[in-house]
Amino acid sequence: MAAQLEVFHADSLAGPMKALKAAFEARTPSVTVNLTSGRSQELAERILKGDRCDVFAPSSPAVVEKVLMTKKVAGAEATAASWSVIFSANEMVLITAKGNPRGIRKITDLAGPGVRFTRVTGEKDLGTRRTIDFVRNVAGLEGKPELAQKIIDGAVVDAGQVHTVPQTIQDVVTGKADAGVVYYSAAVEAKNAIDIQRFPATVNISSEIRNAATVPATATEPAAGIQFVRFLLSEEGRRILEATGQPPIVPPITAGALPPELK
C-alpha cells in the first residue's frame, strides 16, 4: 500500500500543488499525495492543535518562522517546526471576465460607474492586506491614488466576512463581478475562464509574497515529506512552478536546522 503524504498548502498554491502532486506521484509510486488547501494562518493553527501534516506550504515564510518555529504542538514537547525553505514567489494580478467585456485595462477603471469589483476578505487571509496594498500601489502608479479607497470600499463583498481567493475567482467567472484581484498562480489555474492583467514588479507586491515549505512535528511520514520538498526544489519542480505562475527562487532561502537531505 502506498504511503499517504498529507500536504497542507495556501489557497494560492492550489494550481501548482496539483501539478506537483501528479509529477511527484508519477516519479514516486510508493507515495500518494493528499492535498489540503486553505488560509496559511488557519492551517498553521491546525498543526499547532496536533493535526497530522507531512508538508506545510504557506504563502508567507513568517507563518512558519514566527508561528510554528516558536510554539509547541498542543500536548507535546516538540516545537511545531524547526526549519523552512522559501521555494517560490508570487504576485497580485487583476482578473476580468473572459474577453474583458467591460474593457477594464487599469485598476482605476474599477472606480467607473457600474463596475463590480470583488476581492479577498478576512483578517486571517494574507490576501486581504495584499489586495489592498496592490490596489493602492497601482492607483498611485496610474496617478489617481485618491481612487484606491473608493475601489476597496466599493467591492461587492462584505468586508466583515471571509471571502477567499477561489470565491473571488468564482465571482468573476459566474458574472457576479466584472473584475477582481487574486494571486497570479490562482489566476493561471483559471486562465481558460478569465483574462489576466499583470503589473510591474514595483507595484505587484511580488517582493513581499514568498512561498515556504517545512515538514512539521506532526508529520507521520517525515521522510516522504522531505522527499516531496526536495522535489519542489529540483529542476523539474522548478519548471512546474514556473509554468503554474510561481517563479522559483534560486537558490532557495532557508531558515533553521535544515535536514541534511536538503542541503
Indicate whether 103 and 187 sit together in one domain. yes
Indicate whether 85 and 127 sit together in one domain. no
Indicate whether 179 and 161 sit together in one domain. yes
Domain enclosing residue 222, as ranges? 3-89+210-262
Of the CA atoms within 13 Å of residue 7, those in its CB half-sphere come to 28
In the chain, the number of structural domains is 2
Q: What is the CATH number of the domain that holds 146?
A: 3.40.190.10
Write the pLDDT tens digit of every residue in 70-82.
999 999 888 999 9
Q: Measured between alpha carbons, how far is 112 from 50 in angstroms, rounded to an integer?
A: 48
Q: Measured between alpha carbons, how far is 109 from 142 in angstroms, rounded to an integer?
A: 10
Indicate whether 100 and 71 sit together in one domain. no
Identify the DSSP state of 13: G
Q: Measured between alpha carbons, how far is 184 from 202 in angstroms, rounded to an integer?
A: 15
Nearest partner of 253 among 85, 56, 83, judged by Cα: 85
Does 158 reside within a domain? yes
The residue type found at 221 is: E
Q: Measured between alpha carbons, how far is 209 from 95 in angstroms, rounded to an integer?
A: 18
Does 187 reside within a domain? yes
* Residue 2 pLDDT class (50, 70, 90 cuts): confident
- Which are the contacts of 144, defined by CB distance < 8 A and separation ≥ 6? 108, 111
Does 43 reside within a domain? yes
Tell me the three state secondary structure of residue 67: helix
* Residue 115 pLDDT class (50, 70, 90 cuts): very high
The whole-number average pLDDT for the span 136-162 is 96
pLDDT tops 90 at residue 143 = yes
Identify the DSSP state of 156: S
Indicate whether 181 and 135 sit together in one domain. yes
pLDDT given at position 124: 85
